[in-house]
Structure 1
Amino acid sequence: MSKLTVQLKGSLLCIALSISVSGCATDRSLSPPPDGEKVTFTIKAPAELKPYAMRVMYRSAKCQRVSHDASGRPEMLDGHSSFETVFQRGQPENMYKATLFVNGGGPCEWRLSNVMFGVTYRDPSRFGENVLVGGGGGVIVVFDHNNPQLRVGGAVRVEGSQLRIVKDYYLWVNERYTGGYVKRASLSGYGSGYLTYEARQARNVYFEPMFHPEFVVTSVAPKKHAVGDFIKFFYPDGTVESDPEGRPNFKKMQEIRLRAEAKK
């Protein structure tokens, strides 16, 4: 085998690795231009809630990766780079901000693809010792034509540079026995826990969870798996319901609150 052939094979191997893994000679780091376009995220959260870390994904059509379809055939997909960043508390104290570059730069020419962020209940210990923080207050924003890192339900398409999200949330204290006892303090809102938006031109994203702490729904899961035995939900108006979907009835919670507020 000639030296040229060996060098050529080595170069092809390097190219293949740079596509499928992390690259031989390709620098896959992000290097956004300092004066580049940015997206600003703002959360206005009440004292009972706090933001959790934002999960960020950039994609690159230049530094692709190899995947395989259901038949095992290789296919090229955009490469991706993920990391977490935290919201910074500002003034007033209930405002939190984070900023991301649209153009991630670098040799791979990264572009902002999607983000996941949200809020959780701040102090679950008020409901007992070893009570865990649950989910429920999440937002997904997609900035390109790719699927987000987490696909939950359908997406709302939003045009323009402004994305404003103002939604109602209730406290949901849930107990589970199968697989070990767990008690969580979660947030109950519209949908399955994540609100998803396709907002490719959005440059200002504002999220305000309207939390109603005086209206609490609790639930208890069956201690054993049994056909037809579902989670029981105890609503603040005294009603008890079983639900095969395993989530509180958000519409019912809205009606209970609105009736109570109308009586004041």
Structure 2
Amino acid sequence: MSMNTLIKCTASGLLLFSLNGCALDRGLSPESGGEQVSITVKVPQNLAAEPMQVIYRSAKCPIKRSGPDWSSFEVDGYLTTTVQPLQQGNSNLYETKLAINGGGGCQWQLSNVTFGVTYANTTHFGQKVKPASGGGVIVMFDHHLAQRRSAFDPTEEVSGDLLIRKDYYPRVSEHFIGGHEKLAWLVGEGGTYLYYRAPNARKVKFEPILHANYVLYSVGPKVKEKGNFTRYTYPDGSVVADRISDPNFKKLQAIRLEQSR
């Protein structure tokens, strides 16, 4: 190996050695002018666009895993990075553009992106109300499952660009067991996240519609005893408290549509 080759190999970062003895650079290094996907979030009042969690994968830089019988096998390596979407002028649109081919010695390929909205301002709910989860989206650009989901979560398959326009409702929950706290959530038709697989999408836009005047309140039990359940009070004044109750998105939709007639 010549001195020039040694210098080039060392400068690239000694993280993974190739067959010729040079260390592969495991960092992202997308080509200028390469193909990109644009992800835009339209942010309602009192909410904020969350930082985007971006996963790239590489078949060229695999990692080893162990099976239940202690056998060893390889899976595609992955790299995680966080990107803060940028506000577009004075609008409520926040956008980031991500390289499809992340480049580098590992030839990283965009795998999935987690993004969404959460409460930035909760003062209208009262004092000491903290923002919680809800309003999340995961878009997968390859065949891999995202880290934050199981094989049982429903995934919508999309052939082209993706427009996500969904209804959300505020939920303010009060908890006592394990410490007193109040949290502001977003209740949508899915769970914390909506899941999409869109390998050909080059434009992804998320437009959450927040029905801020239709608040679901819930109060948890103060003592963990049989027969003590979380009490849900819906915008129409109806109350539900039983063993199997969770925030009911369909009920919230029905209340809003009935009252808007």
Distance 1:113 1:227 in 2: 45
1:126 to 124, 127, 130: 124
Distance 2:69 2:131 in 1: 41
- Alignment-derived partner of residue 181 in structure 1: 180
- Alignment-derived partner of residue 101 in structure 1: 99
- Alignment-derived partner of residue 159 in structure 1: 159
Q: Deviations over 1:143-197 (max 9, x none)?
A: 001110210621111112x101000001000111121112101111111121000
- Partner letter of residue 166 of structure 1? R
- Alignment-derived partner of residue 191 in structure 1: 190
Structure 1 residue runs of 5 or longer lacking an equivalent are 1-16
Distance 2:34 2:249 in 1: 41
1:34 aligns with 2:32: yes
Distance 2:243 2:138 in 1: 26
Distance 2:220 2:29 in 1: 48
- Count the aligned residue pairs: 242
Tell me whether 55-64 or 170-179 shows the greater mean CA deviation.
170-179
Structure 1 contact 43–206 (Cα < 8 Å) conserved: yes
SS at match of 2:258: helix
Change (3 A) 1:243 1:67: farther
Q: Deviations over 1:57-83 (max 9, x none)?
A: 000000000111222211101000001
Q: Deviations over 1:125-155 (max 9, x none)?
A: 3323322111110000000011102106211
1:150 aligns with 2:136: no
Distance 1:140 1:252 in 2: 25
Q: Deviations over 1:203-252 (max 9, x none)?
A: 10010001110100010112233344332110010100125456310000
1:89 to 72, 87, 101: 87
> Larger helix proportion, structure 1 or 2?
1
2:75 to 67, 74, 77: 77
Structure 2 contact 50–117 (Cα < 8 Å) conserved: yes
SS at match of 2:210: strand
- Alignment-derived partner of residue 10 in structure 1: none
Structure 2 contact 214–235 (Cα < 8 Å) conserved: yes
- Partner letter of residue 76 of structure 1? E
- Alignment-derived partner of residue 14 in structure 1: none
- Partner letter of residue 125 of structure 1? T
- Partner letter of residue 171 of structure 1? P
- Alignment-derived partner of residue 216 in structure 1: 215
Distance 2:194 2:181 in 1: 25
Structure 2 residue runs of 5 or longer lacking an equivalent are 1-14
- Alignment-derived partner of residue 234 in structure 1: 233
Structure 2 contact 46–122 (Cα < 8 Å) conserved: no
Q: Deviations over 1:20-58 (max 9, x none)?
A: xxxx92210010001110000111122221101000000
Identity between Structure 1 and Structure 2 (%): 44
Distance 1:151 1:110 in 2: 22
For normalisation by structure 1, the TM-score amounts to 0.87
